[in-house]
Structure 1
């Protein structure tokens, strides 16, 4: 029974579900490393998804949609980049405002630009092509899973490796970590803390823009209001579970992506969507509880050892 439930299609769906969450989690990890707590990934994904559809529709190209998504999300991220650094605002308040702004703004622009509300679907929207690798395309399971993904999915995992190497194996990564761990000490070393934080937040915005483009152009070429559907918040949890480490955050994203794919599969088995839609969030809460309990256990052991 389990063999019939776990299929190549399920794993393929899981990989697709992981991609936007992973890119958002990488963005949150970068921001966290420089001392900026980013909770705006939900809104950034939504802006990226909408901009990707707009760009694809007007340029007639999926690549055009991806570029517009990146540019729009980087522009949207300026609010956090300057609000939390130059103007020293509360990043939590700024991020909540950005999420609300993204939801309202995309819904408004959808009505103004296309004259529809709810969902926009048009043959003029060009989706991302699936990459089919001839060498593995005929291999059972492997061919179905890895030979039917978009370029953004492959890029997401490449970027995970790049971010990890840069963060822990290069002088640039050392400076970034120094900015987040002790900004005053970094300034005494001649590092422009504000510039590092602003640029990092904007790079993070580009990553979430890619995630948004995958969301609206990767599987189905449409835009729906609030289609980020909590993925940005799940990315925040992945960052917390991974403790701002790209690889650990990526593993958390795999867990949540599998939970998302399972919820879709359960819905296909006849369960009501009101029940299956909560599966990823239940898994998220369980992961948070387990992480919290383990953290408290380590603290208790440390206190006991010192006593």
Structure 2
């Protein structure tokens, strides 16, 4: 029997240091997030970061927390319920970190008699610290707990024509009535070394401004290429002026080079160049979360206005939009009937 497991990032159980700390511990101790030897991760995470970060992160979560709970969890559950209406297959939800784990999701499907699972990482792009870690964790749990199950993984869908159509439609709606000077596509940041580690050729990805435009098998796992490709495809779909669109990367850590340009630097640069009205989109996520709601929607606006900007608009993620739900239902239906996956 076939079934579907949707997997998103996860969230602390509450916006308090007590609940944020174990969540951050699980997240930051993931070797695909901080890709250092375990002994060094222990020192960095448990000896340094977790001594101060939980309090700061809890304050950030408190700013965006909804009455129903964590926005990401609430949105993910809304999406789950709507997707269930699109298919007769059992559909479950799992989180990579925190409560409502991948194991719980697989167990829910197992109890319904599912032995063939479509794993859907809710990330449009391939990256070690998002898409890849979901797949690896799910396969580890499946092998250890549910060996009778067969898992098929949905590929990264960042350039799928139907996905681009849905994403472009949501962005067009968000831009309505806003006489923008610039549209910034802000993607989640990752260390540059993650790009090189994900390169199966071990030589293509040089992050030199040219490699992303040169065709290569490396693009199947190159987060940087995929982000720029998404921007270009949406720009074409909406006929956005070349000089009014750019991409950047947010949420970096000190000490290592991360993908550039940095979003906070772009806020300042664009404002100082006279881009008075800025629209910002966060296409690395399909669900609004701490990073989009606090870092971009709140802090980003403050940074842009302080630098001299006049108007700022954050365009929400796809969340549980009807077109996005219908597309996921279509993909599930195609897999269930023919085994086809989005390309």
Q: TM-score, normalised by structure 1?
A: 0.26
Q: Which has the higher contact order (CA 8 A, sep 6+)?
A: 1
| Bigger helix fraction | 1
Q: Specify which structure has the higher proportion of strand.
A: 2
